[in-house]
Amino acid sequence: MMNNDDFEQLVYKKADKLKSHDRHMKMLRISVVPVAAAFVIMSLIGINSINLPSQMSSSENLIAEANRSNNANETYDKKSDSLQLDDEYQTPLNEVGELAEATSAYNAGEIDVEKSAENDVADHSQYVDSIASESVTFKANDTITITDQSAVDEICQSLSNPLSEYVGNASQFMCVIMINNTEYRIYHDKVKVLYNGSVSGEFDLSEDTKNVLQKYFPIVF
């Protein structure tokens, strides 16, 4: 048998172990209960996954914002991550590759995209049937949203703008690019920068910028 001091030490050691165990169990209960409750609630209301605002990509946020504020004739379909244009403009051409292809076919404010677009929209099979059945036409003032991040980065870099999303709007100017509240009016040889409708700057349009814009946008300089 142990002497009294050793026994006392053993008691306190066991007590510390018990306390530590209790703390651990308490933490487990704290962390498990809300998660379990959340899953129960989700299952009750039929939600299979949560997309928190912080987890949404910046492009999704900006596109949603752009859709809300600027475009009366388009809606952003979050589920399919694609842009839908109203009526005769309905098209899956929200992918950069498709826009680049459209650019090459662009002619004096009007382009035709034939059934070959089917190949480019394999990921959007729900639209394939409608695309196959009709030609798509771009006109002046059409609004195009580019969601491809690398394309957006390239365009923003060409405009020396650090923002990461833009909505282009073909108009009587060569092109108008909206990045949040900043408007870039693209002319043949210059870019005017407007902030909240007021001109805040102007710079020459370089050949590099032209190339980048031409790559992604139906512009002929």
Partner 1 sequence: MSFADYAFRQYLDGDKNAFKIIINEFHDPLIFFINSYVKNVDTAEDIAADCFAELIARPHKFGFKSSLKSYIFSIAHHMAVDHIRKYSRLSLIENESQFVADDDYSTIEESMIKDERSRRLHDALPKLNDNYRTALMLVYFEGMSYAEVAQSMKKSVKQVDNYVTRGKTALKKILAEEGFQYDE
The 3-state DSSP class for residue 212 equals helix
Q: What residues make contact with partner 1 under the rule CB under 8 A?
A: 1-2, 4, 7-8, 10-19, 22
State in angstroms the smallest separation of the CB of 18 from partner 1.
4
- In which residue are the tokens 């009587």 written? 172
Q: Which of 161, 171, 163 is nearest to 140 (CA)?
A: 171
Q: Which is nearer to partner 1, 5 or 207 (CB)?
A: 5
How far is residue 171 from each of residues 121, 140, 150, 186, measured CA to CA in Å?
26, 5, 24, 10
Of 10 and 33, which has the nearer Cβ to partner 1? 10
Residue 22 or 86: which CB sits closer to partner 1? 22
Minimum CB distance to partner 1 smaller for 7 or for 203: 7
Q: How far is CA 130 from CA 79, 89, 94, 99, 126, in A?
A: 18, 11, 15, 18, 8
